[in-house]
């Protein structure tokens, strides 16, 4: 490891420790809470808590994020224990040698399974406006999914007399910015709680009637060959959402996910 110093210990790490899903000499995986940024960014300059710094304070040495999750997305987030290890792990991700799984609750009833093959153009923001090419063509973006459970609530939302939702498992084949969120908006099944790409009426229903105020998208699994031990590694986050979400889908208790 690059550092094993314990001079990073902080109050936040002691009182609100992050949940560590896997740890060895080379990498650490945590369960990132929804609403927590991975690292500092100009897009949210007022934020003061970041997964990278919190984990550093908790374990006592510097850590290096290998990929990112959007702030409202929870779940499996991988860090390396040194900059050298980070380069090796980043190459594994760049070579698409990592299988990723996500779970989400979306508006409406989806097909039992499907594959969304819809290229995405780069999203420009305050940190990339000066670098992004306006004429850059859309990039390949593919997401596969399967329906795990469905429900219909007797609550009128929007122009419908009832509200239908699907609990889906998603396997992204590419890793574009906001890919899953944009893909499910594209197929008219936006993710519940997504304030950027979602449905305002259904988001409000979950927030006001069900007291669920978060985006219902979670990274639930990473599988790859360990670059150092060469053994298969599978990091999982079961039950990514509160019981109040799972209770909407009675069949979840009978379904292996």
pLDDT in tens, the chain (257 residues): 333 333 334 445 556 799 999 999 999 999 999 999 998 766 656 766 899 999 999 999 999 999 999 999 999 999 999 999 999 999 999 999 999 999 999 999 999 999 999 999 988 766 555 565 667 899 999 999 999 999 999 999 988 899 999 999 999 999 999 999 999 999 999 999 999 999 999 999 999 999 999 999 999 999 999 999 999 999 999 899 999 999 999 988 655 55
User: In this structure, are 122 and 175 located in the same domain?
Assistant: yes
What pLDDT, on the 0 to 100 scale, is given for residue 43? 60
User: In this structure, are 103 and 217 located in the same domain?
Assistant: yes
User: In this structure, are 38 and 83 located in the same domain?
Assistant: yes
Q: State both tokens at 185.
A: 């908006």
Query: Which of 31, 57, 70, 194 is flagged as catalytic?
Result: 70
Q: Tell me whether residue 29 is in a domain.
A: yes
Q: Tell me whether residue 239 is in a domain.
A: no
Q: Tell me whether residue 237 is in a domain.
A: no
Do residues 164 and 109 touch, judged by C-beta distance below 8 A? yes
User: In this structure, are 190 and 166 located in the same domain?
Assistant: yes
Q: What is the CATH number of the domain that holds 29?
A: 3.30.2350.10
Q: State both tokens at 202.
A: 């259904």
Query: What number of other Cβ atoms are within 10 A of residue 107's Cβ?
Result: 24
Beta bridge partners of 101: 221
Closest of 25, 49, 24 to residue 36, by C-alpha: 49
Look up the domain containing 4 and give its range.
1-95
How many domains is the chain built from? 2
**111 belongs to the catalytic site:** no
Closest of 85, 86, 68 to residue 32, by C-alpha: 68
Can you give the pTM of this predicted structure? Answer: 0.88
Q: State both tokens at 158.
A: 């929007």
User: In this structure, are 88 and 132 located in the same domain?
Assistant: no
């Amino acid at each position: 490891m690059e550092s094993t110093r314990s001079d990073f210990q902080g109050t936040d790490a002691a009182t609100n420790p992050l949940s560590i899903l896997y740890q060895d000499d080379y990498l650490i995986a945590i369960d990132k809470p929804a609403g927590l940024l991975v690292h500092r960014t100009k897009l949210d300059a007022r934020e003061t808590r970041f997964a990278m710094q919190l984990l550093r304070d908790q374990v006592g040495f510097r850590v290096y994020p290998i990929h990112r999750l959007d702030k409202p997305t929870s779940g499996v987030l991988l860090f390396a224990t040194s900059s050298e290890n980070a380069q090796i792990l980043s190459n594994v991700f760049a070579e698409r040698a990592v299988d990723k799984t996500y779970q989400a609750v979306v508006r409406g009833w989806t097909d039992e399974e499907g594959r969304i093959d819809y290229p995405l153009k780069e999203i420009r923001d305050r940190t990339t406006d000066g670098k992004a090419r306006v004429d850059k063509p859309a990039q390949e973006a593919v997401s596969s999914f399967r329906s795990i459970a469905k429900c219909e609530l007797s609550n009128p939302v929007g122009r419908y007399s009832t509200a239908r939702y699907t609990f889906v498992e998603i396997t992204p084949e590419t890793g574009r910015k906001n890919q899953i969120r944009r893909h499910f908006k594209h197929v008219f099944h936006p993710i519940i709680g997504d304030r950027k790409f979602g449905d305002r009426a259904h988001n409000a229903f979950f927030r006001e009637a069900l007291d669920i105020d978060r985006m219902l998208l979670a990274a639930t699994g990473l599988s790859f060959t360990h670059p150092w031990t060469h053994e298969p590694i599978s990091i999982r986050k079961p039950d990514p959402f509160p019981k109040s979400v799972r209770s909407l889908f009675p069949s979840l208790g009978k379904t292996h996910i």
